[in-house]
A and B are shown apart, each in its own frame.
Chain A
Amino acid sequence: METLLEIKNLSKSFDLHNLGKHIRAVSSVDIQIKEGEFVGITGKSGSGKSTILKCIYGTYRIQQGSILYHSKKFGRINLAEATERELLYLRKHEIGYVSQFLNVMPRTTARQLVKQAILEMGDDHDLAEKETEKILAHFELDEELWDSYPTTFSGGEKLRLNIARAMVKKPRLLLLDEPTASLDHDSKIKVKLLIEQLMKEGTTMLGIFHDLEFMNHLCNQEYNIQNGVFSHSTSFTNS
């Protein structure tokens, strides 16, 4: 299998000018992910797990290191040096990101939200409509909610919508930032089923989960951050 993502010696720190502080978030991170793998990152809260995902997604700009990604459109590309427009393209077409927070446009219904995500990749409205209904149904989001605003949803409903929106695009690389953190058992199983299905379809995933049991069932490799030290802890053979 080809390497899809290779992070070398990544460091990220924050200079808070107004507080006169310099905060080191992570340093010397090395990760290698092959196509189709599911890789997990573990570590205490505040250890910098999310920072790594945000660096890959381009939300954080890094000081040191490289993030080599094998893009369908651009070939090998260092995400740390990609232009803004290249990052925007990749976000629309290749790299997905799910966090525990729903960050949505106000006054947009659940249906519109998912549909727009699909339409970023093409403009077949009928197909988008069909795919939208399919995934909303899969996550058992009450049909009454489809045409209402997510701000009125419960935490679990928001989260399911959030995951649905990212997964419906079947990205090449999906970054999961504790997407199951506040889900009940049934919903977690739904997420797991979808993750497994996406893996079958070839999506590579890098995820942070608090639920180690959940993660261990899916993972090919695991990385661990402890006291600021980043290490490759386990490689599971693909079962």
Chain B
Amino acid sequence: MAEFEVPVLSIKNLNKQFGKGCPYCQDEESLVKNYCPVCGTVYACRDVSFDVFPGEVLGIVGESGSGKSTLMQCLYFDQEVTNGEAYLADYHNGEKNLFQESSQQQRYIRNNIMGKVYQNPLLGLKMNFSSIGNIAEKLIAAGNQHVGMMENRGTELLNKVNIPVHRRKEAPKNFSGGMQQRVQIAKALSNRPPLLLLDEVTTGLDLSVQASVLDLIKSLQRELNISIVLVSHDLGVIRMLADRTLVMLEGRVIEQGLTDQILEDPQHRYTQQLVHSLL
């Protein structure tokens, strides 16, 4: 059957290796997990392909070291891919491979078509800037110049993520972990991107704060109909938010399916182990 909808993001055969590789590790069988014992090359992402469709949440699970975060860094151009292709429907009608665009164009894509929330707020925020200033930074990077408009947009966003208006000029370093994550989310949303990348956004937060961040993500997704790629090692988070899920192990996607398929009828040995570890 022909596809009945067009993906927002399409990733084809993404590979990322750290290190040059050597004749020994050309043969994948000789790797120890995804590491070459001879030259020390780490194959972080191996032949990863997937699509993200409008308005859906795609979950990515896997143990630490499985390549989830590296994949997200590649998608946001924080890392350069070794090879592979990525297409965004909102960028030249999905006809240009993002990974081959100039760094200037990649910056444009980052600032206009994508938003990212890092696990570590230090990577996503300037801790000494005011919160609203952090949002303005992204707006300016996207070419906005009108201060009044940016102030309004910033206030509106902070309001949306439940940061009290009177604290908008405070720096994130004064905020709790949950608040910092919410400022990051506000910043990521500032240019109304069709695609949001969330990398372990609730890891390390206490349960009630985690719940408020998850509720926020869910309601934003419903309201704005934004597409989300959500990386987490927490199956509870995945179950709550993701429509479809990829399972990664040693840099590869070993299984993918509807989230209830992954949770109730896992096929791969590792996925079964993961699901059965769920409390």
Contacts and interface: CB of A to CB of B under 8 A. Distances in A.
Contacts of A88: 56, 243-244, 258
Contact of B1 (A60, A86, A107): A86
A214 interface: no
Interface string A12-32: 001111100000000000000
B211 A106 contact: yes
Nearest to B244: A84
Contacts of A84: 244, 256-258
A18 B276 contact: yes
Interface in B172-230: 211, 215, 218, 222
B275 to A, nearest CB: 10
Contacts of A85: 3-5, 53, 56, 244
Given A54-B265, A85-B3, A85-B56, 10 more contacts: A15-B267, A17-B272, A18-B269, A18-B272, A58-B258, A83-B3, A89-B4, A105-B218, A106-B211, A116-B222
Interface in B234-279: 240, 243-244, 256-258, 260-261, 264-265, 267-269, 272-273, 276
Given A74-B4, A88-B243, A59 B265 contact: yes
Contacts, number: 58
Nearest to A81: B1
A14 B265 contact: yes
A77 B1 contact: yes
B7 to A, nearest CB: 9
> Which 10 pairs, one residue from A and one from B, show the smallest C-beta to C-beta distance?
A17-B269, A60-B265, A59-B260, A84-B244, A59-B264, A84-B258, A18-B273, A17-B272, A85-B53, A18-B272
Nearest to B243: A88
B216 to A, nearest CB: 11
Contacts of B3: 83, 85
Interface of B: 1, 3-5, 53, 56, 211, 215, 218, 222, 240, 243-244, 256-258, 260-261, 264-265, 267-269, 272-273, 276
Size range of the chain A interface in the assembly: 20 to 34
B276 A61 contact: no
Given A59-B258, A88-B258, A105-B218, A16 B265 contact: no
Nearest to B273: A18
B4 A58 contact: no
A87 interface: yes
Contacts of B53: 85
A83 B258 CA distance: 10
B240 A105 contact: yes
B240 A106 contact: yes
A14 B267 CA distance: 8
A84 B211 CA distance: 28
Given A77-B1, A86-B4, A60 B257 contact: no
Nearest to B240: A105
A61 B261 contact: yes
A151 to B, nearest CB: 13
A107 to B, nearest CB: 6
Contacts of A14: 265
20 contacts: A14-B265, A16-B272, A18-B269, A18-B273, A18-B276, A60-B264, A61-B261, A74-B1, A74-B4, A82-B1, A83-B3, A84-B256, A84-B258, A85-B3, A85-B5, A85-B244, A88-B243, A88-B258, A105-B218, A106-B240
Contacts of B260: 59
Contacts of B4: 73-74, 85-86, 89
Contacts of B269: 17-18
A61 B5 contact: no
Interface string A87-116: 111000000000000000111000000001
Contacts of B258: 58-59, 84, 87-88
A59 B1 contact: no
Contacts of A87: 258
Contacts of A89: 4
A107 B261 contact: no
